[in-house]
């Protein structure tokens, strides 16, 4: 047999470029072992190890921030500023979720190490997706992201709604994965490759044929499900209602970030502006549907978690607007402005949305104290809590001086710059609708007399994450330049 | 000759797949699933990948479906056999939309010319080739797969564990 030298294909730089992911997998395995040997009293150590692992992974991402794109593992993945930005969002999200989940898990009696393991593995999946430069890697990342989330959604096993949420998410998620895989196999059949760069060359010489169109539709369906874009949104309200609140906070940000990042890379790098009118016409339907349906249905909700679910559908629509804005009909490569605004919007959405869910956890146990009435007079009983919730709601609406305003501003500006003025107008209009229901909750907090039966569940972790989210929301709303530049330089590296 | 084998395998694969979902008795469904897996293994042989075909038979048709059968027999699903078999409007809608999808796909692929862009290079599916492929070029997806399987195992343990997560 001829010499088999694995080092021809794998070398140390490959491992360095995947160090953040490898570290998280290692921490997950470590927790698995710790859980066996630790006495029940020392469980706190597992949380501390998780936090340390996430922080260290974040530090590696931050220190190793690349100036240009580099490949690893024979082109299976790439590391560039774009992927690192998404990884940063995912890691920050996971970190905040670990902080807000401690007391919640204890209250619900599910304080187990597996929660943190699955959270870590799901984060790894999201990071694999963000870096994926091969359709196979992207698909495996998607599965690694989703599978732990299905289990996490059903984590409250004695709770019927949670079990139902898990099963519903699993069945529909499996179905959407199958559609995505069908699309990928068609692309492979047409071009003979799954590498995104190689696809670019093959697709450029390929005429638009019905099978290619079908493949594009299937890809949009597969990724659209993860972004909970209309009409693939039907699972969202029930899963958000039933799943444990920290899990919802995690998946509302992480899943969207990873899915839209991988989709944008595929669209921009492989298709490189080819068939941009086809992509745009499909995505416009999804974006308009999500913005309108999400925001209009959210108006009639009386449950805060359900309202946040519909608002998440709406925010998925805004993200799609950013994606559409990266394609100008007729131009060969994508426009960086759209993707930059998309990345920045995700960054802002991270703090505002996880912050809002943290307030929900602060206020009550699963399934209790989630209606608008329970927030009555919060400004009198807990003025600071009401104030930070107000900040998050303002940011989700998109009112200055919060980060949500800057994010929406960039997205709509990019859309207008690419010639999608009507889309930007619809976005503005639906944001106005969202003002109604977000401020409806604000009105309950500030204008209504307080209700008596408030029980609060404060912890140090919750307080820390609320402060971090609130400060970040306001501070980066006033001084967004650093992050915008970071996102911009990352997006520019996509093509090199 | 190859063409004939292909048609035969296709007919068996499709027919057995339909039988899997239309059988009343879950044991029969599982057995038709074996038939389906075997016909897929036949495809792999005709594509020049005997190792993949062998793995398909041993792992899928052998181990996994046998596990299915164990579960089906242990759970004793007799009650669910006698379920209401009327379709209702959701069922009719599903059939209508499903037919529409199949019809569209037939329309798309009917007379679609084979791709000009790339023909998949001839597969040399020997053990050596597969091993080299897995541990050289495709080592990263392979490792992601291993983490995925680990996550799945942990997930199953969490969901099946009686003690953890009782809710109160």
What are the chain A neighbours of B118 within 8 Å (beta carbons)? 190-193, 202
CATH number at residue B3: 1.20.120.1200
> Other C-beta atoms within 10 Å of A205: how many?
10
* Cα separation values, A126 from A91, A104, A130, A488, Å: 9, 24, 6, 21
Which of A8, A25, A157 lies at the smallest CB-CB distance from B167?
A: A157
The span from the CA of A345 to the CA of A409, in Å, is: 9
B16 belongs to a structural domain:
yes
B84 belongs to a structural domain:
no
Q: What is the ipTM of this complex?
A: 0.90
What is the rounded average pLDDT of the residues B145-159?
93
Mutate to test the interface with A, among B43, B144, B150, B152 (most CBs of A within 10 A): B144
How many domains, chain B? 2
**A211 contacts chain B (CB < 8 A):** yes
**B128 contacts chain A (CB < 8 A):** yes
The span from the CA of A79 to the CA of A70, in Å, is: 5
B105 belongs to a structural domain:
no
The span from the CA of A100 to the CA of A252, in Å, is: 15
Burial class (CB within 10 angstroms; exposed 0-12, middle 13-18, buried 19+) of A367: middle
B98 belongs to a structural domain:
no
Listed range (A220-234, A246-260, B100-114) with the worst mean pLDDT: B100-114
Question: Is A96 strand, coil or helix?
Answer: helix
Q: What domain range is B145 assigned to?
A: 126-168
Q: How confident is the model at residue A99 (pLDDT cuts 50, 70, 90)?
A: very high
Q: What is the pLDDT of residue B166?
A: 46
Q: Domain ranges in chain A?
A: 30-495
**B107 contacts chain A (CB < 8 A):** yes
DSSP string, A311-374: HHHHHHHHHHHHHHHT--TT-SS--HHHHHHHHHHHHHHHHHHHHHHHHHHHH-STTSS-BGGG
**B110 contacts chain A (CB < 8 A):** no
More confident residue, A201 or B154: B154
**A147 contacts chain B (CB < 8 A):** yes
What is the rounded average pLDDT of the residues A146-158?
92
* A385: Cα within 13 Å, side-chain hemisphere: 23
Q: Is a pLDDT exceeding 90 seen at residue A424?
A: yes
What are the chain B neighbours of A147 within 8 Å (beta carbons)? 148, 151-152, 155
B153 belongs to a structural domain:
yes
Q: What is the pLDDT of residue A4?
A: 59
What are the chain A neighbours of B141 within 8 Å (beta carbons)? 76, 134, 136-137, 140
Q: What is the pTM of this model?
A: 0.91
- Rounded to 5 degrees, φ, ψ at B95 are -65, -45
B54 belongs to a structural domain:
yes
Judging by DSSP bridges, how do beta strands A77-79 and A70-72 pair with one another? antiparallel
More confident residue, B52 or A170: A170
What are the chain B neighbours of A117 within 8 Å (beta carbons)? 151, 154
Q: Is a pLDDT exceeding 60 seen at residue B44?
A: yes
* Diameter of chain B measured on Cα atoms: 65
Distance of CA A72 to the CA centre of its chain: 24
Q: In terms of Cα–Cα distance, which of A152, A94, A87, A86 is closest to A118?
A: A152
Listed range (A57-61, A87-91, B103-107, B113-117) with the worst mean pLDDT: B113-117
Mutate to test the interface with A, among B132, B139, B155, B156 (most CBs of A within 10 A): B155
The distance in angstroms from the start CA to the end CA of chain B is 65
The span from the CA of A320 to the CA of A217, in Å, is: 15
> Other C-beta atoms within 10 Å of B6: how many?
13
- Does A192 sit within 8 Å of B119, measured CB to CB? yes
B106 belongs to a structural domain:
no
Q: In terms of Cα–Cα distance, which of A95, A106, A142, A383 is closest to A265?
A: A142
Q: How confident is the model at residue B75 (pLDDT cuts 50, 70, 90)?
A: confident
Helix (H) or strand (E) holding A231: none
The span from the CA of A274 to the CA of A331, in Å, is: 8
DSSP A78: E
What is the rounded average pLDDT of the residues B57-72?
87
- Rounded to 5 degrees, φ, ψ at A265 are -65, -45
The span from the CA of A84 to the CA of A70, in Å, is: 12
B90 belongs to a structural domain:
no
Q: What is the pLDDT of residue A483?
A: 93
Mean pLDDT over the full length of chain B: 82
Q: In terms of Cα–Cα distance, which of A387, A388, A367 is closest to A379?
A: A387
- Please list the alpha-helical segments (H only) found in A418-452: 421-447
Give tens-digit pLDDT for A372-403.
888 888 888 888 999 999 999 999 999 988 99
Token output for A387: 């104030």
* Cα radius of gyration (chain B): 21
Q: What is the pLDDT of residue B32?
A: 92
Q: What is the pLDDT of residue B117?
A: 46
- Rounded to 5 degrees, φ, ψ at A72 are -150, 160
Q: What is the pLDDT of residue B115?
A: 56
Output the CA torsion sign for A128, A132, A136, A137.
negative
The verdict on B11 and B70 lying in the same domain is: yes
Mean pLDDT over the full length of chain A: 89
Q: How confident is the model at residue A329 (pLDDT cuts 50, 70, 90)?
A: low
Where b means 16+ CB within 10 Å and e means fewer, A233-259 reads bebbbbbbbbbbbbbbbbbbbbbbbbb
The verdict on B66 and B135 lying in the same domain is: no
- Cβ atoms A144, A122 nearer than 8 A: yes
- Does A9 sit within 8 Å of B139, measured CB to CB? yes
> Other C-beta atoms within 10 Å of A41: how many?
7
What are the chain B neighbours of A151 within 8 Å (beta carbons)? 154-155, 158-159
Q: Is a pLDDT exceeding 50 seen at residue B168?
A: no
The residues, any chain, with a CB within 8 Å of residue A313's CB and separated by 6 or more, are A228, A229, A230, A233, A236, A290, A293, A294
- Cβ atoms A279, A216 nearer than 8 A: yes
What is the rounded average pLDDT of the residues A440-468?
85
- Does A214 sit within 8 Å of B167, measured CB to CB? no
What are the chain A neighbours of B121 within 8 Å (beta carbons)? 192
Token output for B49: 């990948």
The verdict on B72 and B135 lying in the same domain is: no
- Cβ atoms A156, B160 nearer than 8 A: no
The verdict on B72 and B132 lying in the same domain is: no
Q: What is the pLDDT of residue B167?
A: 40
What are the chain A neighbours of B144 within 8 Å (beta carbons)? 128, 137, 140-141, 144
Q: Is a pLDDT exceeding 70 seen at residue A330?
A: no
- The β-bridge partners of A371 are A303
């Amino acid at each position: 047999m001829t010499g088999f030298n694995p080092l021809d294909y794998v070398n140390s730089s490959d491992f360095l470029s995947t160090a953040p992911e490898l570290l998280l997998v290692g921490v997950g395995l470590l927790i698995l072992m710790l859980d066996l040997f630790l006495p029940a009293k020392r469980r706190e150590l597992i949380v501390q190890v998780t936090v340390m692992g996430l922080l260290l992974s974040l530090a590696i991402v931050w220190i190793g921030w690349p100036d240009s794109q580099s490949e690893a593992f024979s082109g299976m993945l790439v590391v560039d500023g774009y992927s690192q930005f998404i990884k940063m969002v995912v890691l920050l999200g996971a970190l905040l979720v670990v902080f807000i989940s401690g007391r919640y898990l204890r209250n619900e009696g599910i304080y187990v190490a597996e929660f943190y393991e699955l959270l870590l593995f799901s984060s790894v999946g999201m990071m694999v997706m963000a870096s994926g430069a091969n359709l196979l890697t992207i698909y495996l990342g998607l599965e690694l992201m989703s599978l732990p989330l299905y289990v996490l959604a059903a984590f409250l096993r004695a709770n019927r709604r949670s079990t139902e949420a898990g099963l519903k998410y699993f069945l529909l998620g499996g179905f959407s994965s199958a559609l995505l895989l069908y699309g990928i196999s068609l692309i492979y059949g047409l071009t003979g490759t799954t590498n995104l760069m190689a696809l670019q060359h093959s697709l450029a010489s390929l005429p638009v044929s019905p099978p290619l169109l079908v493949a594009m539709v299937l890809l949009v369906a597969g990724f659209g499900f993860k972004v909970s874009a209309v009409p693939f949104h039907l699972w969202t309200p029930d899963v958000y209602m039933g799943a444990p609140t920290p899990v919802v906070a995690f998946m509302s940000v992480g899943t969207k970030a990873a899915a839209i990042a991988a989709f944008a890379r595929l669209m921009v790098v492989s298709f490189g502006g080819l068939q941009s009118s086809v992509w745009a016409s499909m995505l416009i339907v999804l974006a308009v549907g999500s913005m309108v349906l999400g925001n209009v249905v959210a108006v009639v909700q009386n449950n805060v978690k359900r309202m946040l679910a519909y608002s998440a559908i709406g925010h998925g629509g805004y993200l799609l607007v950013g994606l559409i804005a990266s394609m100008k009909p007729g131009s060969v490569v994508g426009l960086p402005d759209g993707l930059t605004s998309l990345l920045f919007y995700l960054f802002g959405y991270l703090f505002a949305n996880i912050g809002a869910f943290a307030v929900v956890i602060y206020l009550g146990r699963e399934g209790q104290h989630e209606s608008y009435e329970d927030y009555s007079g919060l400004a009198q009983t807990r003025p600071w809590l009401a104030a930070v919730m107000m900040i998050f709601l303002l940011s989700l609406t998109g009112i200055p001086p919060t980060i949500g305003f800057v994010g929406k501003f960039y997205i709509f500006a990019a859309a207008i710059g690419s010639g999608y003025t009507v889309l930007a107008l619809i976005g503005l209009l639906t944001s106005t609708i969202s003002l109604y229901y977000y401020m409806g909750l604000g009105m309950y907090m500030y204008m209504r007399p307080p209700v008596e039966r408030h029980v609060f569940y404060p912890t140090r972790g919750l307080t820390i994450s609320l402060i971090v989210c609130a400060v970040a929301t306001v501070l980066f709303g006033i001084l967004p330049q650093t992050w915008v530049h970071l996102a911009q330089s990352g997006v520019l590296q996509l093509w090199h | 000759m190859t063409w004939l084998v292909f048609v035969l395998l296709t007919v068996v694969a499709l027919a057995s797949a339909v039988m899997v979902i239309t059988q009343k008795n879950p044991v029969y469904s599982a057995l038709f699933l074996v038939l389906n897996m075997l016909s897929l293994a036949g495809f792999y042989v005709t594509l020049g990948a005997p190792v993949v075909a062998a793995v398909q038979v041993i792992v899928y048709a052998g181990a996994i479906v046998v596990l299915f059968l164990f579960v089906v027999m242990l759970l004793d699903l007799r009650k669910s056999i006698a379920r209401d078999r009327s379709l209702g409007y959701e069922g009719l809608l599903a059939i209508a939309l499903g037919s529409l999808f199949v019809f569209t796909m037939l329309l798309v692929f009917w007379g679609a010319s084979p791709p000009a862009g790339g023909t998949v290079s001839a597969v040399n599916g020997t053990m050596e080739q597969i091993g080299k492929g897995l541990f050289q070029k495709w080592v990263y997806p392979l490792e992601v797969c291993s983490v995925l399987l680990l996550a799945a195992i942990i997930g199953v343990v969490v969901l099946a564990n009686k003690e953890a997560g009782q809710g109160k």
